[in-house]
Amino acid sequence: MKTINDFNFENKTALIRVDFNVPLDGDFNVADTNRIEAAKPTIMKVLEDGGSAVLMSHLGRPNGQKNPDMSLKHIRSTVSEILGVKVNFVEDCVGAVAEKAVADLQPGEVLLLENLRFYSAETAGDKAFAEQLAKMGDIYVNDAFGTAHRAHASTTVVATFFSQKKCFGFLLAKEIEAIEKVMRTGEKPVLAILGGAKVSSKITIIENILDKVDHLIIGGGMTYTFVKANGGQVGDSICEDDKMDLALDILKQAKKKGVEVHIPVDVLAANDFANDADTQIVDVDKIPDGWQGLDAGPRTLERFREVITQCKTILWNGPVGVFEMENFAKGTIAVGNAIDEATRNGAFSLVGGGDSVAAVKQFGFEEKVSYVSTGGGAMLESLEGKSLPGIAAILAE
């Protein structure tokens, strides 16, 4: 696996695919700088070698239209501030104007290209467009895990024009290593904590990881499909009735493979989907009509903590309650605390997938786990065992 450390960029121009698809507020200020900060080590390595960096990214979904609200010019000053160097900007990503801006770059300088998705050729994976992008650098670096599952011109096709002169940036390499640890090389016991609302959205992940884990914790809304499938009463809790046979099949497969499955035994139930609803703690299989389970109960959380703290490799994908509402966030916080404890005792912990990443950030666990993935869809497809086009393109000869 070639990483940026395998190259010296002295007097070279690095064409770096970054993921600067960041949220902007009403005044076009960057509302969350995490993705820019995550790309900094890769960009600085190039500059410190004595090279120049050309950054390409998308922002939003302009659908092939030049939409000024989605111009990357809005983030230029923030990128400059984070890198600590002046960042030049050019109002195109291909063509004569962009090529001149690249030609004028001096060692130690950074150029940010305009939004790639102003061209529909980007998402179409157009070869001619990728060839135009390839003119912008001597070495291609992919550091955008968030788009590694897309076979777009800038993430996949462009790599074919660089032969041996392509590599992973530090961020993408770290993402690959983190997933490898969970899926292949991690110390046992290995645990996967899967939460979220629906079994249907996690089927392929569950099926793919059953051969790799020793323990599986099921939480969140998925719980009630499993409980009802086993004959329990789930009241008005979210439940996929058409997936109950599948839930039973998952439990059967897990048993056959020697995987211990841990499902909540009690829940915090509410009489309305609202933070100020009346609540009661009930057994997970005895939720009264008119009530719905919105968080894990105290006995469940104690059991979960016992499992989590005895494991050496932990994947967390999905919250165990409606953490967006303060009164139903205790379960997700308790799981975070248990993972923190396990990590301090030497476990490797990986958090990935939109809602669990949001929870980790909201409750201050970012520095308390081993790694927080930057790519939602890419992370999920990796866990499903799919080959990601952006990664395969770098590994290809």
Annotated binding-site ranges for (2R)-3-phosphoglycerate: 35, 117, 150
Establish whether 364 is a catalytic residue. Answer: no
Q: Are 315 and 192 in contact (CB under 8 A)?
A: yes
Catalytic residue (one of 198, 286, 305, 361): 198
Establish whether 354 is a catalytic residue. Answer: yes
Catalytic residue (one of 312, 354, 361, 385): 354
Between the alpha carbon of residue 188 and those of residues 142, 214, 314, the distances in Å are: 31, 8, 10
Residues in the annotated binding site: 19-21, 35, 58-61, 117, 150, 202, 293, 324, 353-356
Q: Is the dihedral of CA 288, 293, 294, 295 positive or negative?
A: positive
Q: Are 189 and 310 in contact (CB under 8 A)?
A: yes
Residues in the annotated binding site for substrate: 19-21, 35, 58-61, 117, 150
Residues in the annotated binding site for ATP: 202, 293, 324, 353-356
Q: Whose CA is closest to 208, among 240, 239, 254?
A: 254
Establish whether 198 is a catalytic residue. Answer: yes
DSSP-derived pairing of the beta strands 139-142 and 166-168: parallel
Catalytic residue (one of 35, 174, 303, 330): 35
Per-residue DSSP letters for 154-221? TTTGGGGGSTTSEEE-HHHHHHHHHHHIIIIIPPSSEEEEE-SS-STTTHHHHHHHTTT-SEEEE-TT
SS3 call for 54: strand
SS3 call for 394: helix
DSSP-derived pairing of the beta strands 266-270 and 260-262: unpaired
- Within a 13 Å sphere around the CA of 227, how many CA atoms are in the beta-carbon half? 28
Torsion of CA 72, 76, 78, 79, to 10 degrees: 100
Q: Are 168 and 14 in contact (CB under 8 A)?
A: no
Active-site residue set: 35, 198, 354, 377
